[in-house]
Amino acid sequence: MSWIVSLPCTRAEAEAVSNGSALDALAEPPVVVTREIDQDAGLWQLDAYVDDKPAPALLTMIHALVPSAKGKQPTVDELVEQDWVTLSQQGLEPVQAGRFFVHTSSYADRIPPGTTPFLIDASQAFGTGGHDTTAGCLEMLDRVKRKGTTPRNIADIGTGTGLLAFAAMALWPSARTIASDIDPASIFVTRDNAAINRMPLGRGSGALTLAVAPGTDHPAIRHRAPYDLVIANILAGPLITLAPDIAVATAPGGHAILAGLIARQMEPVLAAYRTQGFRLAARGGSSEWPCLLLVKRRRYGWRRKERAFHRADPADASFGSW
């Protein structure tokens, strides 16, 4: 059995908690989730999941995360064990973004004609297409294709379920594509999803290479650089930190699709990439979750900036290096 502790909160408190809290220092910290329960009224809620019935001290710590709930008693409920994956899949509606139709097994017999479908069931990894960031990236990929761009070398950094890498492969089937994630579980999920969606794995053209890596730090990613297209649907902080590395990995004139940031984080992210020689070519996504298409400027003349990029031995460019 497990338990859930719920309290009302403000949006500001929800955003603050998402960046970490005092609970993280506990030996067995609760899983804390915040969500908007009424968009019109601006009502938010904090839910903390714990394995055992929460002690008063833990309730006090959880209450301290949301000062706006002072004087209100938290709701504490015992959860009955259920098949959460199956339940979550039942609640996932299909998503159509550009030419892509992303669905779970429940909708496998309801694919609209003329779409490019992907079956992505609920899993441990992020990226089922339902979130605005993933849908925005799918639409941006479709937009890049319609403009006539033809990347031959593609990297999906922070791939999650592999969905964006699959979409790129469907658009440019002759390209070489590599997908990486810092979480080994995501790479296992991507491998399984590749089999389900008949996406070939390997190292040649038209195949997908997989790697566990923090950012671009992997021999296979370094060896294949520079890339005509880099996709990074992660978070604003890592996007800013990775700006120099993504700049090195992107070919002059190449594109970068960035997402995972909220609207107020767009300017700091853009500033980090402009410093590295990128310009904003297009903005997509939703008003709250923008998706940015950047182009790396070409450098001409004897003053052009060049940075050495470590070329690993081809033998290091291993597939599925977990």
The domain of 28 spans: 2-79
Q: Is 275 annotated as a binding residue?
A: no
| Residue 67: inside a domain | yes
| CATH number of the domain enclosing 219 | 3.40.50.150
Overall size of the chain counted in residues: 322
Q: How many domains does the chain have?
A: 2
**pLDDT lower than 50: segments of the chain:** 83-90, 124-125, 302-322
Contact 58, 30 (CB under 8 A): yes
pTM (predicted TM-score): 0.67
Q: Is 52 annotated as a binding residue?
A: no
What pLDDT does 85 receive?
46
Contact 13, 65 (CB under 8 A): yes
Rounded CA separation 124/189 (Å) = 8
Tokens describing residue 217? 């730090």
Residue 280 phi, psi dihedral angles, 5° rounding: -80, 125
How buried is 108 (Cβ within 10 angstroms: 0-12 exposed, 13-18 middle, 19+ buried)?
Answer: exposed
Rounded CA separation 51/251 (Å) = 48
State the DSSP H helix or E strand holding residue 140, giving kind and residue range, or none if neither.
helix 132-146
Rounded CA separation 112/185 (Å) = 31
What pLDDT does 50 receive?
87
| Residue 228: inside a domain | yes
What pLDDT does 298 receive?
87
Q: Is 158 annotated as a binding residue?
A: yes
| Residue 190: inside a domain | yes
Where a domain ends, among 45, 79, 113?
79
171 shares a domain with 52: no
What pLDDT does 306 receive?
41
What pLDDT does 92 receive?
62
Other CB atoms within a 10 A radius of the CB of residue 75 amount to 12
Contact 2, 13 (CB under 8 A): no
What pLDDT does 1 receive?
52
Beta-bridged to residue 116, according to DSSP, are: 100
Contact 33, 47 (CB under 8 A): yes
Rounded CA separation 157/260 (Å) = 12
Contact 253, 151 (CB under 8 A): no
155 shares a domain with 74: no
- Counting runs of H as helices and runs of E as strands, what totals does the chain give? 10, 14
| Residue 134: inside a domain | yes
Residue 302 phi, psi dihedral angles, 5° rounding: -75, -15
CA distances from 55 to 60, 84, 295 (A): 9, 25, 53
State the DSSP H helix or E strand holding residue 225, giving kind and residue range, or none if neither.
none
283 shares a domain with 191: yes
| Residue 125: inside a domain | no
172 shares a domain with 47: no
Q: Is 134 annotated as a binding residue?
A: yes
The 10s digit of each residue's pLDDT in 254-306 is: 999 999 999 999 999 999 999 999 999 999 999 999 999 999 998 755 444 44
| Residue 90: inside a domain | no
| Residue 89: inside a domain | no
Q: Do you find a cis peptide bond into 94, omega within 30 degrees of 0? A: no
Torsion of CA 47, 51, 55, 56, to 10 degrees: 0
| CATH number of the domain enclosing 58 | 3.30.70
Torsion of CA 78, 80, 86, 91, to 10 degrees: -40
135 shares a domain with 28: no
| Residue 275: inside a domain | yes
